[in-house]
A and B are shown apart, each in its own frame.
Chain A
């Protein structure tokens, strides 16, 4: 009667083919999976036993996608630590602040002048501000730029953005999901979200010895059960007090990262993050009706241009302030311009909160464009720099003397 496993098997098969293709072209899988998701769906044909509409399994796939978000953010929490940020130094904080100031403000103004209400503006600004850690790290490694001077700064800015994302998601999830209609109610939701966050920070600082003892489990089998139970329980509980479940996962990751077992959990989670994350990107594409894409073309295009200019300017200022050359500084903006997983997560929050429908096609088009264009700009950064240098005359290029 039901072929749900077969439907999911079909979906996974398509996901696998898309991932293989992405790998073949040495590209991030994110844009491929979103496009795949948009191609199939309720409007797609059903050929023989192969049903590309995914009607029966739609709910299940979206649940797997939701789990993907949990793992993505749980991992983000596990990865970052306050110690790392302090060690990374002043130039990171300065550059991160410059980046956020320019791009977040730009995002807010863009949403405002495009005529959106407040919540939509906040979501749009979030989508525009946060770079894709996954794509940036992949591109840097692929292009063998890990050794370059500017790479430290790029990764520092990315880390700074991630922290911003954590706080920002908590705040807007309170606003969007709290459903407050008056200013007082909205403030209350924000306070609850921030208070919840603070609780986790205190637990991370004070209860680490206790957690160390609780997590000291030799058996990998029992360990994974305990960790995942904590993850799903905390994430689910957060939802009940109108804090996005993803935030619960992120905060728990943060707490765990302070324990002795942080690294072990990190290793354990990576395959789950990769698998469920992939389904999340597919499921996000599935939720987009391709016929609505046209409505958002201009809005997305404007945001793309704003992002490219904003990131480039911010990278230039941050790089020069940190004492890098013009060429290295240009590389910063041309690298952090890629958008991906985090922009979709922010967009998803808005969609889950029942905000305006245009957010779906807008975020899909925006992320797709910058997930594809971003890495290309990074690769061609030298040529772009030389071109811009002719206009702005930053440095005189010495002819090679060899």
Chain B
């Protein structure tokens, strides 16, 4: 315990650290049996205070589950979430309430994430109500109006319902709700992928500004790699529930080392005809296997152009290849030499 207290005082302590996090969902297979679906399998990383960690991967890779399990919306199957130097204890009511105040989430779908029967002010005020964070009706309303102002919403709209707004405005409402309890850490789960291109930039800029003003820490989950690269300090790549690569944003884009990251990044369509035509894509064969029948050893070996016998034998270790650059690949040295 003493160590932990000392550690939390240290500036260098990561705000969020997850160790060997696992989340399995039971899936019914047949009449009686059920097999675990390993949505997140042994993932570890940490996020420094004020940092943005981008989490990318294709659908079904478990990135959303990572975000939700960190926030204990799903109870982890195994592993630890350490927040501010202290393991999150879901048994203690007080500690959980504190954790819920300090962490929050922004969702992908600006339609299903706002209750259609609540007014904008009630939606934004929900965290305030839940935590009883005001002493008078006026204080509550003032705080709501302040939040609306901060995300660029007209305060006259406080009594309207969410369905009257466009997607971008709805996402602003969602962000205002996320900010209401004064959080430090926000899990942003694909917050711009449902928005129109011209609106995306408004919301991305708002995330940037809020981070500068409030010193927020983000876990930014997305599949749009250009958006992730724009906003993130470091980027983690996931494949089939496992983390395959983690490095600084510039490093991972300029020198991706895992074969999956290489083809993922080369597959991004660049909005510039000349670059797009010159771009050499590294095509991947086939589809992502079902997480229920994940291949033995390295999960990527079925699509990997470099796979050999050793890849099917064991899961490669997630090791630091260069300072700050982690890769999980048996043949990383051979491929990148």
Q: Do A and B bind each other?
A: no
